Structure 1
Amino acid sequence: MPHNDPLLVDIGIGECQVTKVLVDTGSLVNLIFRDTLDKMGIDLRGMKPSSRTLTGFNGSSEKMIGTIRLPVYAGDTIRGDQRAARELLIAAVKLQQSVSLINSVAKPIHKKYPQKEENREVHIDEADPTKVIRIGAFLFDEMQSQVISFLKANASTFAWTTSDMKGIDPAVASHELNVDPTFKPIRQKRRKLGPERSKAVNEEVDRLLDAGFIAEVRYPEWLANPVVMKKKNGKWRICVDFTDLNKACPKDSYPSLTSIVW
C-alpha cells in the first residue's frame, strides 16, 4: 500500500547482517562508524586513507579516517515504523556510541542476493555493432530481458560519440566556478610528458575541439597541467590537475563518496 512513513530495511554489509537501516534519498554520503566496522570484523587494510572533513547540519565537523568499499545485499523491508526511524535518526545526529536498541549487527544465515562483478555485453542496435552496453550478468532472466528491451527501444537517447552531444545553449543554462576573489590566480609550471602521453593529450584536445566542447583561450589567469593515466583497457585517461583551483573554491560539506568512516 502507498505510504509516507520512513522506510527501513534489513541489509547485509560484507559478511554481516545489519537491521533497521534508514533509507534517506537525500543523503550524499554513507557513514559507517569505526567501532561498527570493528564489531563486523572488517579488515581495515583495504581502507583508503582520507584527510577530508565532514560537516553536519548543526555546524560541527569531524575528520574521516578513510573510505572503504563493502558489498551490500538487500534483505526484507520494514515499512511504517515511525518510532524506530525517529530513534535511528536521533542516534545518528547526536553521534551516539550506543545504538544497541536501534541497530544490531549479526552474522547472516544466508545472503539473499549474492553480488557478482560479471557483466554481459549486449548489442542494442543490429545495424550498428559498435553500440554495445553492459548489464549485470547476475540479474534474473526476466529482468535482463526487460532491461534489454527498454534500452533497445531508447537506443537513440544515448550519446555514442562526442558528436552526438550537441550541448546546451548558454541562454538556457550556464555554469561558472565559485572562485574566492581573494585568491591569487596560479599558473602551474609546465610539466613535461613523454611522447606517448603527449600524443594522447594532443588527440584528446583535437577530439574535444572538433566536438565543440572546448575552445582556445589566450593569456588565461589560471593554468593547470594535464594528468595522463592509463586505464585498465590500455587506453589513456586525460585529466587536469585542478588542485590549485579547488583550493580557491568553497569546500563541499557533503561530498558524494561510497562510504565514509570516522
Structure 2
Amino acid sequence: MIFGEEQDAGKEDEELVNEPKEAPLLLEDRGQATIDELVEIKLGSPEEPKITYVSKSLSNSEMKEYVAYLSDYKDVFGWSYKEMPGLDLKVATHKLAVDPSKRPVKQAQRRFHSDLAAKIELEIYKLQATNFIHEVKYPT
C-alpha cells in the first residue's frame, strides 16, 4: 500500500462520521409540540404574586431546585414597567415604516368579546399608567 492511499482511506472514514444522520420518525412525522407545557409559579406575595412559568417536564427535584434558584434571584427581574426606568426607547418603541407619499387607509374598528375586552383595557391602563404607551390622535 502506498502512503498517500492510506491517508485517503482515513479521510473517507472521517467523512462518513461527519455525515448528518436522519431525524428519528418520532420527531419527523408525529406532529409533536416543540414547546413544553408550562406550570405557573408565584415567586412573590399574594399582593404581588410575581408570576413566572417553568417546564412541566421537570422532575420534582429539578423543579424544587429551579424554584429555589428563581426565588433567590427574583429581585433581578423586571416584573413591571415601573421597574425598568432605564429601558432604551430604541428597543421599546414601535415605529411603522410607512411611505409618506401613500394615502392612509382607514380600517373598521375591531370588536372583541366582552371578557377579552376587559382584560385588554386593564393591560392598556397598566401600560398608560407607567408611561410606556400613550394615546396618539390622528385627523380622520
CA–CA distance in structure 2, aligned partners of residues 179 and 213 of structure 1: 22
Residue range with higher mean Cα deviation, 189-198 or 133-142: 189-198
Q: Deviations over 1:222-241 (max 9, x none)?
A: xxxxxxxxxxxxxxxxxxxx
CA–CA distance in structure 1, aligned partners of residues 107 and 133 of structure 2: 20
Match of 2:106 in 1: 187
Match of 2:53 in 1: 134
For the residue of structure 2 that corresponds to 1:134, the secondary structure is strand
Q: 1:156 aligns with which of 62, 67, 75?
A: 75
CA–CA distance in structure 1, aligned partners of residues 135 and 57 of structure 2: 46
CA–CA distance in structure 2, aligned partners of residues 187 and 11 of structure 1: 48
Q: Letter of the aligned partner of 2:85 in structure 1?
A: K
Match of 1:144 in 2: 63
Q: Letter of the aligned partner of 2:59 in structure 1?
A: F
Indicate how the Cα distance of structure 1 residues 175 and 161 shifts in structure 2: closer, same or farther if over 3 A, else same.
closer
Matched-pair contact (CA < 8 Å) for 1:10–1:17: no
For the residue of structure 2 that corresponds to 1:135, the secondary structure is strand
Indicate how the Cα distance of structure 1 residues 191 and 138 shifts in structure 2: closer, same or farther if over 3 A, else same.
closer
CA–CA distance in structure 2, aligned partners of residues 199 and 124 of structure 1: 26
Structure with more contact order per residue of length (Cα contacts < 8 Å, sep ≥ 6): 1
For the residue of structure 2 that corresponds to 1:188, the secondary structure is coil
CA–CA distance in structure 1, aligned partners of residues 36 and 74 of structure 2: 26
Query: C-alpha displacement at 1:156, in angstroms?
Result: 1.5
Matches within 5 A, 1:115-130: 117=37, 119-125=38-44, 128-129=45-46, 130=49
Structure showing the higher strand proportion among its residues: 1
Matched-pair contact (CA < 8 Å) for 1:120–1:137: yes
**Is 2:69 aligned against 1:70?**
no
Segments of 5+ residues of structure 2 without an aligned counterpart are 1-17
Indicate how the Cα distance of structure 1 residues 189 and 141 shifts in structure 2: closer, same or farther if over 3 A, else same.
closer
The alignment of Structure 1 onto Structure 2 pairs a total of residues equal to: 120
**Is 2:116 aligned against 1:210?**
no
Q: Deviations over 1:206-236 (max 9, x none)?
A: 2221111211222258xxxxxxxxxxxxxxx
Indicate how the Cα distance of structure 1 residues 180 and 10 shifts in structure 2: closer, same or farther if over 3 A, else same.
same
CA–CA distance in structure 2, aligned partners of residues 155 and 217 of structure 1: 35
Q: Letter of the aligned partner of 1:187 in structure 2?
A: K
Structure showing the higher helix proportion among its residues: 2
TM-score, with length taken from structure 2: 0.53
Matched-pair contact (CA < 8 Å) for 1:208–1:214: yes
Q: Deviations over 1:105-125 (max 9, x none)?
A: xxxxxxxxxx973x4444434
Q: Letter of the aligned partner of 2:104 in structure 1?
A: P
RMSD in angstroms over aligned alpha carbons?
A: 4.1
Identity %: 24
Indicate how the Cα distance of structure 1 residues 145 and 205 shifts in structure 2: closer, same or farther if over 3 A, else same.
closer
CA–CA distance in structure 1, aligned partners of residues 118 and 82 of structure 2: 21
